[in-house]
Structure 1
Amino acid sequence: MRLVKLIANLGYGSRKEIQQAIRHGWVTDREGNALKADAKTAHEDILFDDEPLDPAIGMVLLLNKPLGYTCSIKDQGKLVYDLLPDRYRVRKPVLSTIGRLDKETSGALLFTDDGALLHRVISPKAEVPKIYEAELDRPLNGSEAAVFASGELMLENEHKPLKPAELDVIDDTHVRLTLHEGRYHQVRRMFAAIGNHVNTLQRTQIGKLDLTGVAEGEWKMLSESDVAKVFG
């Protein structure tokens, strides 16, 4: 891929803007030598304004999503993309969330531009476990764990029961719930189905990947070993 197209696809600017950056000598190799538009330099050795280029296709990010942000670029108000560098919003291929968290749910949210990886994570066959911590409106009655683990719980307006889920009790109104599928507003609807209400909800873990070292509103680029944790 030509240098201009490569850098433009990473979101650093239009092709015209990248051509101008090359003419001004802002695109260099690691030794500081200005690169021409037809340079054959390896991706990892190219600098833009003295900084290494973002990764090519296959980039994976983990965001610790705060409350009040939505995942769809079609929504109004604050978007999760507002927490990332502006150029990430215009990368080609597009940088997409792997699944979603609603506006009132915080915690672990993955992004990638690798379509195969995205579908691998969200595939029902993968059954990637996702762990949530919830604060409930009313104390537990003691039957919830058995109901959720039964594989027989049916949500309103659905015709297929939920897969078994594991409930760990933190205290009377705080729980940790592990899901192996991802239906619309699933945690909230599960508790509604048994007569309770979720006041606060955070996703703390995807597979074995947790939020260690990632403060609320912050994000990090994942390594191959990090991504492997998603699958166990």
Structure 2
Amino acid sequence: MFFWAIFDQNTSTWIFFAKDYLDLEVNLGGKTVHLSPDQIQSANPFLIVVFVPIMNWIYGALDRKGIKIKPTDKMILGFLLTAGTMGIHALASHLAIQPDGSVQRVSILWQLFAFVAITVAEILISVTGLELAFTAAPKSMKGFVTSLWLATVGCANLFINVPVTHMYPTKEPSESFHFATPTSYFTTLTVAMLVVTAVFVVVAMIFNRSQLKPTTVSEDARDVAERE
């Protein structure tokens, strides 16, 4: 759930950050184009189309070499990349904000790198998690467990993303609590995501061990027995 809270920051705080701290003037073949802060989001669907076939090829190549990657391993890597996106923004913010408090806008490439990382993380976590929720669930609960996985997106936005986003330090006055700088905001989320990753590693170990336990009667055999 925390992944989706971080992922959906690209539709809120990432736009605020781009507006205040990124150099949105892009030189294209001698012609300067000014991008709006929210236009950078278009990188996500484009990168998904690019990376999905590449990652499928990588999975196939590893499988042919006898290297099996567990679904939980893919998700752990996705969590680390998600933490990395916050780290990228924290570093970019640190470079943009000068000691005297003035702002020296940094390259738009900082956020493009973050979009590359969060897109790969989305493929590793969203696709893998949805498949795992279906395949690992008992036959009678596959639909229910899958719906719970999908519900995490809404819950993440409602209970985590909305209140956390209000803590982002915009330049407009606010009476609610907010961090002093984007650097501290993004650093805090980086650390929080690393903590979540550490917890998930433990959960993944327990889950993978449970999947190795032999079963005396398979589900198909039980279905046959019930029909008879």
The two structures share one fold, judged by TM-score above 0.5: no
The TM-score, its normalising length taken from structure 1, stands at: 0.28
More strand by share: 1
Higher relative contact order (CA 8 A, sep 6+): 2
